[in-house]
Amino acid sequence: MNKILVSTDRIKKNYYNKDKKLMVLDDVSINIKTGDLVALIGPSGSGKSSLLHILGLIEKPTSGKIKLFGEDLNKLSNKEKDIIKQKKISIIFQNNNLLEDFTALENILMPLIIRGENIKISRTKANKFLKLVKLEMRSNHFPSELSGGEQQRVAIARALIKKPILLLADEPTGSLDEKNSDYIIELILSLSKKNKTTSVIATHNLDIIKKLDISFKIEKGKLIEFKK
Give, as one character, the DSSP assignment of residue 3.
P
Spatial strand order of the sheet with 198-202 comes to 89-92, 166-170, 198-202, 37-41, 214-219, 222-225
The DSSP symbol for 77 reads -
Signed CA dihedral, 128, 134, 137, 140: sign only: negative
106-128 residue pLDDT tens: 999 999 999 889 999 999 999 99
Cα–Cα separations (whole angstroms), residue 139 to 99, 136, 195, 199, 226: 14, 6, 25, 27, 40
Continuous segment of H or E residues that includes residue 29: strand 20-33
| Separation between Cα atoms, residue 155 and residue 2, nearest integer Å | 29
pLDDT tens, 83-104? 999 999 999 988 889 999 999 9
Give mean pLDDT, residues 203-209: 85
Distance of CA 144 to the CA centre of its chain: 23
Q: Which of the residue ranges 40-44, 63-67, 217-221 has the most confident prediction, judged by mean pLDDT?
A: 63-67
**Burial profile 71-88: b = 16 or more Cβ within 10 angstroms, e = fewer:** eebeeeeeeebeebbeee
Q: Is 196 helix (H, G, I), strand (E, B) or coil?
A: coil
Give the DSSP letter of residue 172: T
Tell me: the pLDDT tens digits for 166-196?
999 999 888 888 888 888 889 999 998 888 8
Strand order in the sheet with 71-72: 20-33, 4-17, 63-68, 71-72
Q: How many CB atoms lie within 10 A of CB 118?
A: 11
CB 180 within 8 A of CB 153: yes
Q: Provide the 10 A C-beta neighbour count for residue 98.
A: 23
